[in-house]
């Protein structure tokens, strides 16, 4: 393992030889972690049979991963600040290995949930990788590196759908998890051998009470959001979860403000540049996920509906896969924009492109190639914007808080995507038409979903433009 020594008297990052290789490993790790999040989506209709359980129980195979990822990202960021980011990256990769292995050996619900939860925890890799960039990459290349690592979140999700559909169609479903086990092991080995260990700039202990309070509060609220339609919003169950979660989060916030070494410094988070960037992250995360819910349904609905395009699951995934490549291709564009105009303008441009993609979708969704264009335009917007968000955050917080701050920002994106899933599902379910005895979402509901996605993206533009212009100045 390469070690980078940093004098105890300074917080200046040490720059290792060949940072490009380190960035490549960070991109690979982020890609694999994101890939595992969407691996089981093509299987969700078959999971009740495969795991000998009910459809309601089987849905937790996806939900558990999303919840674990949301909780893990801010906690992993704080751990990176405390104990060194390379150690946390290696631990995250090992957790992904174990989780993938447990899932690969599972034939019933409980061990599968355990494996998928561990896979979700590994998502802590991404914010820690982004925050490490400032420590190991020369300033002139930081923007490009942040853009590349940030883009892996969308790229992994995009290519995961067709890849997993092909593997599941050609082999036993366990093959998905054996593949992710091998890939995660490669990442763990690469992190151990390539990523430098930069000594922690902030010592101390993990705020265990703060971590537990954040986990309980977030899970309570996000469970209600993801399961609210299934449970029924006219029942007490989801609102009870939301109420409990909000009370816990309020108590957690009060505790964190009085703690000498909090998990998350809420005073830093409340700074206007950080707060507005995080609010924009919710809006843009919502916008990113909306098209991922609607476009596959349009592609797969039968042509006889008059608006469905009759594509198979694998074909639908292949039509959407180029969006992930576009997202990665726009990483250097984002870097160039940040260099010339700053992260604030870049984030606003990304959100505007994302919203424009939705407006295109409202008018043009009658052929697979049109939805391919929509997917590419929205992905370009996400690729531009996702790189600018952590850059804004890291420019507005001390170096000792960068991991935790980027983790919170990643959490806000997850809140946006989770909320979008629930909202879009409710919008589509509210306007069903009968197709040979089967209820399917109407075309009007699809178009309304696109308009809501556009609204969220343009709200992100407004929030971004409210960020002070001087927020891009580095914080010592």
Chain segment 315-358, per-residue pLDDT in tens: 877 888 788 788 878 878 888 888 888 889 999 999 999 999 99
pLDDT in tens, 82-137: 888 899 999 999 999 999 999 999 989 999 999 999 999 998 898 899 888 888 88
Is position 239 within any domain?
Answer: yes
pTM as predicted: 0.79
Specify the pLDDT at position 470: 62
Range of the domain at 239: 207-262
> Does residue 6 have a pLDDT over 50?
no
Residues 340 and 303 both lie in one domain: yes
Beta bridge partners of 463: none
Residue 7: phi and psi, rounded to 5, are: -55, 140
| DSSP label of 430 | T
Is position 218 within any domain?
Answer: yes
Residue 471 near residue 344, CB atoms below 8 Å: yes
Q: Please report which helix (H) or strand (E) contains residue 75, including its range.
A: helix 60-83
Q: Please report which helix (H) or strand (E) contains residue 246, including its range.
A: helix 236-258
More confident residue, 450 or 290: 450
Structure tokens at 167: 């593997």
Provide mean pLDDT across the span 418-431. Answer: 80
**Percentage of residues in the chain having pLDDT higher than 70:** 91
Specify the pLDDT at position 417: 82
Residue 87 near residue 417, CB atoms below 8 Å: no
Residues 118 and 255 both lie in one domain: no
Cα four-point dihedral sign 418, 422, 427, 429: positive
Is position 81 within any domain?
Answer: yes
Specify the pLDDT at position 16: 43
Specify the pLDDT at position 208: 85
Compute the chain's Rg from CA coordinates. 21
End-to-end CA distance of the chain: 29
Specify the pLDDT at position 414: 82
> Does residue 451 have a pLDDT over 90?
yes
Is position 289 within any domain?
Answer: yes
Number of domains in the chain: 3
pLDDT in tens, 254-289: 888 888 878 777 888 888 888 899 999 999 888 888
User: Tokens 């051998």 appear where?
Assistant: 193
The Cβ-side half-sphere exposure at 136, using a 13 Å CA radius, reads: 32
Specify the pLDDT at position 8: 37
Residues 250 and 271 both lie in one domain: no
> Does residue 180 have a pLDDT over 50?
yes
Residues 233 and 195 both lie in one domain: no
Specify the pLDDT at position 475: 36
| DSSP label of 205 | -
- Say how far apart CA 438 and CA 32 lie, in whole Å: 37
Residues 383 and 475 both lie in one domain: yes
Cβ-Cβ contacts under 8 Å for 374 (sequence gap 6 or more): 291, 295, 357, 358, 360, 361, 364, 365
Residues 183 and 214 both lie in one domain: no
Length of the chain, please? 476
């Amino acid at each position: 393992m390469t070690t980078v020594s940093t004098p105890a008297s300074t917080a200046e990052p040490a720059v290792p030889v060949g940072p490009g290789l380190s960035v490549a490993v960070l991109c690979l790790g982020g890609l694999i972690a994101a890939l595992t999040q969407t691996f089981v989506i093509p299987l969700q209709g078959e999971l009740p049979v495969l795991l000998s359980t009910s459809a309601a129980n089987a849905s937790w195979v996806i939900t558990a991963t999303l919840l674990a990822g949301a909780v893990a990202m801010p906690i992993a960021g704080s751990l990176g600040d405390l104990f060194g980011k390379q150690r946390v990256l290696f631990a995250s990769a090992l957790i992904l290995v174990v989780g993938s292995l447990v899932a690969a050996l599972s034939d019933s619900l409980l061990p599968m949930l355990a494996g998928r939860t561990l896979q979700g925890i590994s998502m802590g890799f991404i914010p820690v990788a982004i925050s490490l960039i400032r420590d190991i990459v020369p300033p002139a290349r930081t923007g490009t590196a942040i853009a590349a690592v940030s883009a892996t979140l969308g790229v992994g999700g995009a290519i995961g759908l067709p890849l997993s559909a092909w593997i599941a169609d050609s082999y036993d479903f366990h093959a998905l998890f054996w593949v992710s086990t091998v890939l995660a092991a490669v990442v763990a080995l690469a992190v151990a051998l390539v990523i430098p260990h930069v000594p922690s700039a902030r010592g101390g202990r993990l705020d265990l009470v703060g971590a537990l309070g954040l986990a309980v509060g977030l899970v309570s609220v996000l469970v209600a959001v993801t399961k609210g339609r299934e449970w029924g919003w006219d029942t007490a169950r989801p609102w009870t979860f939301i109420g409990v979660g909000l009370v816990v989060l309020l108590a957690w916030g009060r505790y964190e403000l009085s703690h000498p070494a909090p998990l998350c410094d809420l005073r830093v988070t409340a700074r206007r540049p950080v707060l507005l960037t995080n609010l924009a992250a919710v809006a843009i995360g919502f916008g990113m996920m909306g098209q991922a819910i609607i476009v596959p349904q349009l592609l797969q609905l039968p042509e006889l509906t008059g608006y469905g395009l009759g594509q198979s699951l694998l074909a639908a995934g292949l039509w959407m896969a180029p969006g992930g490549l576009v997202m990665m291709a726009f990483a250097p564009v984002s870097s160039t924009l940040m260099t010339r105009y700053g992260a604030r303008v870049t984030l606003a441009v990304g959100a505007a492109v994302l919203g424009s993609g939705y407006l295109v979708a409202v008018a043009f969704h009658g052929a697979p190639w049109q939805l391919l264009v929509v997917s590419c335009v929205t992905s370009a917007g996400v690729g531009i914007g996702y790189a600018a968000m952590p850059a804004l955050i890291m420019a507005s917080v001390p170096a000792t808080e960068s991991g935790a701050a980027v983790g919170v920002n990643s959490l806000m994106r997850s809140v946006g995507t989770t909320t979008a899933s629930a909202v879009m599902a409710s919008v589509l379910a509210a306007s069903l038409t009968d197709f040979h005895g089967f209820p399917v979402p109407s075309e009007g509901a699809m178009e309304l979903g696109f308009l809501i996605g556009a609204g969220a993206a343009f709200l992100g533009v407004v929030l971004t433009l409210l960020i002070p212009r001087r927020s891009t100045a580095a914080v010592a």
